[in-house]
Structure 1
Amino acid sequence: MKQAVFPALPSTNVHSLIGRHLSAALAETGDPDDRMFLIADRFHHAALAAMTLGISPISLLQAWQDWMLHLSISPGKQQQILRQLGRKQVRLSKFILDCALMGEKAECCIEPPPQDHRFKSPAWEKFPFNIYAQSFLLTEQWWHEAATGVSGVTAQHERLVEFYARQMMDMFSPGNFALTNPDVMQTMLRENGANFLRGWGYMLSDAMKATQIQKEDSAFNPGANVAVTPGEVVYRNDLIELIQYAPATETVQAEPILIVPAWIMKYYILDLSPDNSLIRYLVDQGFTVFCISWINPDERYRDVSLEDYIDRGVMTALEAVEAITGSEKVHAAGYCLGGTLLAMAAAAMARDGEDRLQSQTMLAAQVDFDEPGELGLFMDESQLSFIEDVMWLKGYLDQWQMAGAFQMLRSQDLIWSRMILEYMLGQRPGTSDLMAWNADATRMPYRMHADYLRQLYLNNDLSQGRYKVGGHDVHLEDIRVPVFAVGTTTDHVAPWKSVFKLVHLFDTDVDFVLTSGGHNAGIVSEPGHPHRSYRKLFYKHGGPHPDADDWEKQAKVEEGSWWPQWSNWLKRQSSGTVPARAVGNPKRGYPPMCNAPGTYVKMK
């Protein structure tokens, strides 16, 4: 059996990093002077990234320049913007007059979007706070109208300008300042300012954790109260631990399930608390479940490639599952980037004539990155080169850089509302298992993540049949096993319409479920969870391809969790039942090694 073998971890201080990179450059063939110039640029870019939160200033400047130059030669658009500004001023003036005459009965001149909850408190209906809110919403709307619809601006640049304009507007929302936020003012008067003292304490505590002066103290720890479904690690190499879960029924479905989670996150999003664990649910439904737990890589993994993740991750795990269970077929399921990785592996197996999958499940996983959602905002040549230089310096992409990008996508909810609640109102809500997992971030190796971003996000090679596995192109249309796919309605990471494109790319039957919730909460949607609903589509291979928008309008909304739909589908795809299997198979070289959740999930 292969065991993990790690080289010694080198020092990570700046001087040692510079020395190692310079030594490596001098050792390479070719002109050393040229390599030194390139290294100097990379060090400079990495230093800039520390000040810009990993965002390329050139990419941002190009977007604003594109917008401003095209706006400067569009007198019609200029006049339209000015006219809209004047009309909004008139609407606001009328509202102020109505407030003077009618008080709180004055009808608002603009309503916030459904997803904007900043002004839901009844206190915002009182003077002068209602005027602050209405003025801000009108200004925000005007900026959106000004940033979009300028003839000649590229679609990518228009989206960037609109996005960063929205970020700036979010920063200056009246709710972010104590004197213009009625809830903060009321709390201050009621508590004589004690809320600010508590908030100051929370701010200091967060600052200390951010600088590692104080360690994070989580109420949820893998193996203690999350990731507690009984099981054993039955295989380990330098990239994965493979966990097999103990059976909970006397008989199980003949084909086991292999779950491939994303490497950008710890696997236990699928095995949180016992009452919302998808893995436990599958085990209780009579399945033999295996799950990959990826290592949290450091600079020793800088040259590990995306194909290594396929070969030493998915394919090696698949071989172990087959050897342990004796089953020739496996139900494979991939979540987020793990689903993308699974699709690559499945297409490669189909290309090579390997009939090893009984079914394939894609959970919030994209295979076409033409419309990847707001994460695509950070993907152009300038931004990608900037990120590559950042990763090149350390050998990996750090957690804080990924977390910053995700928080920017939902700054209203993840940044400003939290600051108001904790630092101004002095209220710190308790941590949930999902929140604790979300803070338990991972790193990503330099070469692997550069491959992923450039070949998938930037070039969209996978959907175009240009992505190579084993030196040869893979084609998604070669996948012929039945597919179950899940999209979530408010997904900012893998928008459901982007996920839906797999219906058109796989040449097979597809059961597609659209569930309420976001990228994580929509998947962690156990039976009995309140306010959960879903729609479902069955696409028969060979039939006309459905349009996502039309289907969403016509599909019946069903209340409850989508988990039973998937469990029943898996049982229909299975060939029957067999007696429950023991964990591991020592005779075939896969003895149980340690209790789940294993060791890799605990690596910081």
Structure 2
Amino acid sequence: MFTPSKTTNRVLSMANTSSTPSSGAINPTHLVEQATQAWQKSLERMATNNPQTDLEQMQAMQPVMEAFGKAATALSANPHALVQSTLQLHQAHLALGANFLEQMLGRSTTPVATPEKGDGRFNHESWNNAFFDLMKQSYLLTSNYLTQAVSSAKGLDEADRNRVDFYTRQFIDALAPSNFLLTNPEALSTALSTNGESLMQGFQNFLQDATRGSITTTDLDKFVVGENIAITHGNVVFRNHLIELIQYTPTTKQVHAKPLLICPPWINRFYILDLQPQNSFVKYMVDQGFTVFMISWKNPTAEYRDVGFENYITDGLYEAIDAVRSITGEDSVNAIGYCIGGTMLSAALSVMEQNNDKRINSATFFTTLTDFSKAGELSLFTDEAQLDALDKRMQRDGVLDGKSMAATFSMMRANDMIWSFVVNNYLLGKQPFPFDILYWNSDSTRMPCAMHSWYLRKLYLKNEMAQPGKLEVLGKKIDLRKIALPMYMVGAINDHITPWTSCYAPFSGMASKSKRFVLSKAGHVAGIVNPPTPAGKPIKRSYWVAEATNVPAETWLRSATENQDSWWPDYTQWLGNQSGSKVAAPTKSGNTKYKPLGSAPGTYVLE
């Protein structure tokens, strides 16, 4: 499905080492009470569901059904190839059966099929048992057969092929023997060694998740925003209906004159850049002598249904820029945009370029798409049928519920974000490991109807931002090619949400004479939350860096320099060159116009 990122591998490792079932006896009466409560919660959710939504979701799947129909027709039109591949599968299973007999006689064999690198589902030593090894390899052979069969279907366009590949993979992942008690040797041995307590604990975990309405991926009780996560010191210095602006307290006697304003995505919480002190990008930048400001977005409710993309620019970005300029006395700011925050920043820069607006001195983009023609697997959820269904739901509710977005992202990494926790929590009866990134990932936010519909249709479906003069924002025709200020972009080589090649291509074509591109050797999140390795510990990170020129991404990569460890020091050096001379650090937050309204991380992040 993908090459797991370092974050993914860390999650799998944690799942294998998470806390074992409690040694305390589980009260059966309490389990019955929990089961009753979970059932009642399920009934309540069913009662609040609009039947029309279910119908709309079924209609939204029509393109998927049609794609599978086309694939079946294509395969039946070439029966010889299908027979050949089926015969090869049969022969492989015969070889596997022969290996099984050899193993039963105590002889060593060479595996017929092995898991892909990074596949942690079969890591436990009990999968080496002859019977379970047979089951594992049979599953892998059949999985490869199905994957290759649908991939070989001729005559499908790219969209239909991607649909067939994706949903075939969902089916294959769901049926892995590791996901079921009777076919998971580790779960069986754990149940025996704990006298069934692991199963009781797993059932209790399941009931708790059924009550919550979502699977638990981390220990939610171990983190509290503002207490042990998002704790970099600062103050909220501005608040309106859409944002809170946080000014962080300097830790150095002198700071760079030019302030840094961070525009995070509003699809998630801002504190992905301020997790814990050891991996906080915010703290790192403050410690390097930068005056850092952060936008914290409002978690919208139904009353925000008409808030659009342009409002996020005018009432969010522009208001924040003016506050930062007033507080620091600087005419312009350095700006960072992360993911959709970077997409918005790009549009704003095009508008500002046409208005001769110089309030932004330099721009940095973290995993930002502006050309959505190859937008990764998210494009599977943005065809006309699915957007029609989504629009109807958002028009009724006013917003898109955060759990819907979270479910979509989880499907894109089903083995890691769904099935690994099914095994860990339910089959093994363990508690999820406390992991700050997964806590942040579970802290989802809502999307206003107008903004989200515009964003998905104009950008994902029609790709108007990539067409000069096609997209209109704030009365201006967007042409990203004309953006000329100094720029820095970070892509991630294993990014499944914003593929790095799609980030690079439009960035390299911009007019700026200073375009530094960094490719982090990780994924969408770990590629950005990428702190320098502490002294004495082995370095596992690296990144490629070079100026972006108007050449294909693969050509750029061949000529780029690979460096060990984090890209953060490279960025601070680059940003320092854009930030003017050092001045005395401010002794207090805000000014007479923008007075402190409360301590960081503010109130909007808690909603």
Report if aligned partners of 1:373, 1:494 keep a CA contact under 8 Å in 2: yes
**Kept after mapping to 2: 8 A contact 1:533/1:557:** no
- 1:268 is displaced (CA, Å) by 0.7
Tell me what 1:506 maps to. 510
Q: Does 1:538 align with 2:542?
A: no
- Given the superposition, is the C-alpha separation of residues 114 and 331 from structure 1 closer, same or farther in structure 2, using an over 3 Å criterion? same
- Three-state SS of the structure 1 residue aligned to 2:466 is coil
Question: Contact conserved, 2:233 with 2:600, CA < 8 A, in 1?
Answer: yes
CA distance in 2, matches of 1:477, 1:278: 29
| Alignment-derived partner of residue 21 in structure 1 | none
Identity of aligned residues (%): 37
State the match for 2:583 in structure 1.
Answer: 578
Deviations 1:189-246 (A, max 9, x none): 222221101101111111122289xxx9532122111111111111111000011111
**In structure 2, the residue corresponding to 1:311 is in which secondary structure?**
helix
Structure 1 residue 449: deviation in Å? 0.2
- For the Cα contact (< 8 Å) 2:264–2:341, is it kept in 1? yes
> Once the 2 structures are TM-superposed, how far is the Cα of residue 433 of structure 1 from its aligned partner?
1.8
Q: Deviation at 1:548?
A: 2.2
1:146 counterpart (140, 146, 149): 149
Q: Aligned equivalents of 2:533 and 2:220: distance in 1?
A: 30
With normalisation by structure 2, the TM-score equals 0.87
Task: Give the match for residue 198 of structure 1.
Answer: 201
Cα displacement (A) at 1:354? 1.2
Distance 1:220 1:201, change over 3 A: same
Q: Distance in 2 between matches of 1:80 and 1:511?
A: 48
Query: Counterparts of 1:128 and 1:566 in 2: how far apart (Å)?
Result: 53
**Aligned match of 1:98:** 99
Residues 523 and 153 of structure 1, relative CA distance in 2, 3 Å threshold: same
Please tell me whether residue 178 in structure 1 is matched to residue 181 in structure 2. yes
**Contact kept? 2:250, 2:289, Cα under 8 Å:** yes
Say whether 1:56 aligns with 2:60.
yes
Superimposed CA distance per residue, residues 373-407 of structure 1 (whole angstroms, 9 cap, x where no aligned partner) = 11111111111111111111100000111111111
Q: Quote the residue 1:70 is aligned against.
A: 74
RMSD between aligned residues: 2.2
| Residues 491, 520 of structure 2: 8 Å contact kept | yes
Give the SS at the match of 2:222: coil
The unaligned stretches of length 5 or more in structure 1 are 1-12, 19-42
Answer yes or no: is the 8 Å Cα contact 1:104–1:127 preserved in 2.
no
Q: Deviations over 1:285-342 (max 9, x none)?
A: 0001001000000100001111111111111111111111111121100111111111
Shift of 1:101: 2.4
Shift of 1:469: 1.4
Tell me, in whole angstroms, the C-alpha distance in 2 between the residues paired with 1:401 and 1:495: 22
What is the letter of the counterpart of residue 336 of structure 1? C
- What's the counterpart of residue 292 of structure 1? 295
How many Å separate the matches in 1 of 2:558 and 2:108?
36
Measured in 1, the distance between the counterparts of 2:267 and 2:589 equals 27
Native 8 Å contact 2:247 2:590 kept in 1: no
2:562 aligned partner: 557
Displacement of 1:590 after TM fit? Answer: 0.8
TM-score, normalization: structure 1?
0.87
| Separation (CA, whole Å) in 2 of partners of 1:321 and 1:311 | 15
Distance 2:369 2:199 in 1: 44
Q: Distance in 1 between matches of 2:376 and 2:541?
A: 23
Question: Partner residue of 1:602?
Answer: 606
- Give the SS at the match of 2:221: coil
Equivalent of 2:166, from 159, 163, 166?
163
Q: Which amino acid aligns with 1:107?
A: T
**Alpha carbons of 1:207 and 1:104: their partners in 2 closer, same or farther (altered >3 Å)?**
farther
2:546–2:560: 8 Å Cα contact kept in structure 1?
A: no
1:473 equivalenced with 2:488 (yes/no): no
CA contact (8 A) 2:121 2:178 kept: yes
CA contact (8 A) 1:488 1:519 kept: yes
Gaps of at least 5 residues in structure 2 are 1-43
Q: Which residue of 2 aligns with 1:445?
A: 448
**What's the CA shift for 1:151?**
2.2
The question of 1:494 aligning with 2:495 is answered: no
Contact 2:202/2:426, CA 8 A, preserved across alignment:
yes
Alpha-carbon deviation of 1:104? 6.1
SS in 1 for 2:465: coil
- Cα drift, residue 574 of structure 1: 2.0
Maintained 8 Å contact 1:583/1:592: no
Moved more, 274-283 or 109-118: 109-118
Could you tell me how far 1:474 is from its partner in structure 2? Answer: 1.2
Q: Aligned partners of 1:90, 1:464: CA distance in 2, in Å?
A: 51
The match for 1:135 among 133, 138, 145 is 138
Matched residues, number: 552
In terms of mean alpha carbon deviation, does 161-170 or 550-559 score higher? 550-559
Counterparts of residues 246-265 of structure 1 (less than 5 Å): 246-265=249-268
Aligned match of 2:24: none
Per-residue CA distance 1:419-457 (angstroms, 9 max, x = gap): 111111111133222221111110000010000000111
CA contact (8 A) 2:102 2:108 kept: no
| C-alpha separation in 2, matches of 1:373 and 1:239 | 29
Deviation at 1:44, TM superposition (A): 6.2
Q: Aligned to 1:258, what secondary structure does the other structure show? A: strand
Name the SS for the 1:259 alignment partner.
Answer: strand
Q: Is the 8 A contact 2:75 2:82 kept in 1?
A: no
Structure 2 residue matching 1:243: 3-state secondary structure: strand
